[in-house]
Homo-oligomer: A and B are copies of this chain.
Amino acid sequence: MIKQYLLSPGPTAVPERVMLRMAHPMIHHRTPQFSAIFAETKEMLEQLFQTRNDALILSSSGTGAMEAALINLCAPGDTIIYVNGGKFGERWGKIAETHGILTVELKVEWGSAVAVADVETALIANPHAKAVFVQASETATTTEHPIREIAALTATRDHCVTVVDAITALGVIDMPMDAWGLDVVISGSQKALMLPPGLAMIALSDKAWEMVGANKGCHSFYFDLVTERKNQQKGKDTTAWTPAASLIIGLNEVLKMMFEEGLDNLYARHSLLAEATRAGVQALGMKLVSNVPAASATGAFIPEAVDGVAFFKYLRDKMGVTFAGGQDHLSGKIIRIAHLGYYDVFDVVIALSAIEIALDRFGYPVVMGAGVAAAQKVLANRFAKV
């Protein structure tokens, strides 16, 4: 018997309440019954995005919505600027290449945030760039980029928008789309939205919709956002193509949970868990991967004396605790601990306890309880003093 704990930054744990809601008998998606759920869900989603525009629900992974953003905004031969500070930033370039869109890459050292000045320089050097593509939180390095400041740069430029992959940020940090002037915001179901994978969400500003309307270049049948908006608009409350209905019903439940908790409490919880996790791993002598660490997940370097790949597998296969490892040149060197979505105090405790025990089992001279103790001092603040 090995109990399983999923502590990776996507997929994340799905609450029992959501699993049970999704286990109800299937309903047909072209019915008033489903449309009522859809309309309610979309309205809550727009409150979470903090936008008065449509937040569209796509039945795809987050990558699908990333591609939708690129091809609806840009035509072949157009130029975009993208921030590449990790695996997900890199993906903007790969998608653009597929569609013949020209790219200006802002390469950022893994673990660092892009400098706003570098984005500005690129915008000045490329006055015809259609957009800046950036992650709110680069999951590969657990780093937050300055999306608000980047959006302020494009706001002053005609025909140039900021596109934010918020797949590990929406529902984690307060990022008011309209107030900050974020033109396109993308999310996915399997992160802070506490669902299985299979849904993506995308919202566009008026400026971005104008650009989509003017774009005659790229085409997609499945990811045609204009068609989606026509179907998903209030009153129609349906989708262009067959939706992943059980996931949308699950999303309805998830959003109710989020609003029952309250968005301020939700953000404060994520911030506290992140702070506690950082305190915990640092108390174990493990260095943080990021110098602008995200609230969604914490990356930390595994001690060099320990075989990182074996360490990760041991935790998963022998101890039942699944973290994420590192990618590319960080493979085998780091561990990424999730604290976005359905996580609370004792998930952080489990994460640190598991790492401590595993370090001990690998013969590393760990001070048992040191990481947990440091985390607990922060976590205690989640509960009122008596």
Q: Report chain B residues within 8 Å CB of A376.
A: 353, 356-357, 360, 368-369, 372
Q: How far is the CB of A78 from chain B (nearest CB, A)?
A: 43
Does A42 lie at the interface of the complex (its beta carbon under 8 Å from any beta carbon of B)?
A: no
Quick one: CB contact mask for A156-187 with B, threshold 8 Å, 1 for yes? Answer: 00000000000000000000000000000000
Residues of A in contact with B, size category: 35 or more
A361 to B376, CA, bound (A): 11
Q: How many copies does the complex hold?
A: 2
Instruction: Return the contact of A361 from the options B318, B356, B383 (Cβ within 8 A).
Output: B383
Quick one: CB contact mask for A335-361 with B, threshold 8 Å, 1 for yes? Answer: 000000010111101100110111011
Does A95 lie at the interface of the complex (its beta carbon under 8 Å from any beta carbon of B)?
A: no
Q: How far is the CB of A236 from chain B (nearest CB, A)?
A: 33
Q: How far is the CB of A4 from chain B (nearest CB, A)?
A: 9
Q: Report chain B residues within 8 Å CB of A2.
A: 344
A319 to B376, CA, bound (A): 13
Quick one: CB contact mask for A219-262 with B, threshold 8 Å, 1 for yes? Answer: 00000000000000000000000000000000000000100110
Q: How far is the CB of A363 from chain B (nearest CB, A)?
A: 7
Q: Report chain B residues within 8 Å CB of A358.
A: 383
Does A384 lie at the interface of the complex (its beta carbon under 8 Å from any beta carbon of B)?
A: yes
Whether B3 contacts A384 by the Cβ 8 Å rule is no
Q: Which A residues fall within an 8 A CB radius of B?
A: 1-3, 5, 257, 260-261, 265, 269, 310, 314, 318-321, 342, 344-347, 349-350, 353-354, 356-358, 360-363, 367-370, 372-374, 376-377, 379-380, 383-386
